Amino acid sequence: MSVFGPVKLFYCLVNLLLGSASIKFSKIIIKKQLILYHKVF
């Protein structure tokens, strides 16, 4: 248990960081798509 505790915490932190990064990235993509959409129409 003492070995898997820190590993699970580290894994959770990595997942949180990746999740927040992907959310920010997807927001940037959505903004760019909206800008393109407004330029076309």
pLDDT (0 to 100) of residue 4: 77
**Residues 6 or more apart in contact with residue 20 via CB below 8 angstroms:** none
pTM for the whole structure: 0.52
Give the pLDDT of residue 6: 86
Supply the pLDDT for residue 16.
92
Other C-beta atoms lying within 10 Å of the C-beta of residue 36: 10
pLDDT tens digits for range 1-41: 577 788 899 999 999 999 999 999 999 999 999 888 888 76
Contacts of 9 (CB under 8 A, 6+ apart): none
At residue 7, the pLDDT reads 87
